[in-house]
Amino acid sequence: MINLECTKLTKSVLNLIKNLVIYQYGSESSKIFSEVDVDMLRVCYSKNTKRIRSILYGDNIFITIRASDYMVVPHITFAKYLHKALPYPCYRIVVLNEIVEEITNGYTVFSKHIISGDPRIKPYDEVMIVDERDNLIGVGRALLDYESIITSFRGAAIQIREKNTG
């Protein structure tokens, strides 16, 4: 993390992060903050702009705050908590079990491998990628809306950001 300065999370920053997460993922997502050890969270600011860039959980990146629109970009540590907090199929894309290994070796999920998901997904939404048994595979950004993802037989649908390695 170049050009970042990390400090302990204050109550006001924690409330800001909670509100950003609730705005993006709904009120159910607030359960995450009762599950995580808040004392392990640290906030990292840009040294140049002094704006929040990321939240660390221990030594792992928990979330990144996108500079262009101040939206939450989840990393796998955060996605594990989000996966538990949100009921199925919220912010999920379900892929065929047969293709999971291929997906974990690549960086794109193609439309033909997706069997269902959250019908509210829009382009550029940050989503969780799960198998047919709702096991978390990774997180990524939707490139299409849900209807296009489901009706397309070819083309990229989800750009994988990070994969669940265990």
Neighbouring C-beta atoms of residue 143, cutoff 10 Å: 18
What are the extents of the domains in the chain?
Answer: 4-84, 88-163
Q: Residue 103: what pLDDT?
A: 85
Q: Write down the CATH superfamily of domain 4-84.
A: ArcTGT, C2 domain (3.10.450.90)
Give start and end residues of each alpha helix (H) in 39-145: 76-85, 100-105
Which pLDDT value is given to residue 49?
87
Distance CA 63, CA 20 (A): 11
Mean pLDDT, the chain cut into blocks of 10 residues (166 residues total): 79 94 94 92 90 92 91 94 94 93 88 94 95 94 94 92 86
> What pLDDT, on the 0 to 100 scale, is given for residue 145?
95
Q: What is the rounded distance in angstroms from the CA atom of residue 135 to the CA atom of residue 128?
A: 10
E strands present in 58-125:
60-65, 72-74, 92-95, 108-110, 114-117
User: Is the CATH number of domain 88-163 2.40.110.20?
Assistant: no
> How far is the C-alpha of 52 from the C-alpha of 72, rounded, in Å?
11
Q: What is the predicted pLDDT for the residue at 1?
A: 45
pLDDT (0 to 100) of residue 57: 94
Do 88-163 and 4-84 fall under one CATH topology?
A: no
Residue position matching structure tokens 């409330």 = 15
| pLDDT recorded at residue 164 | 87
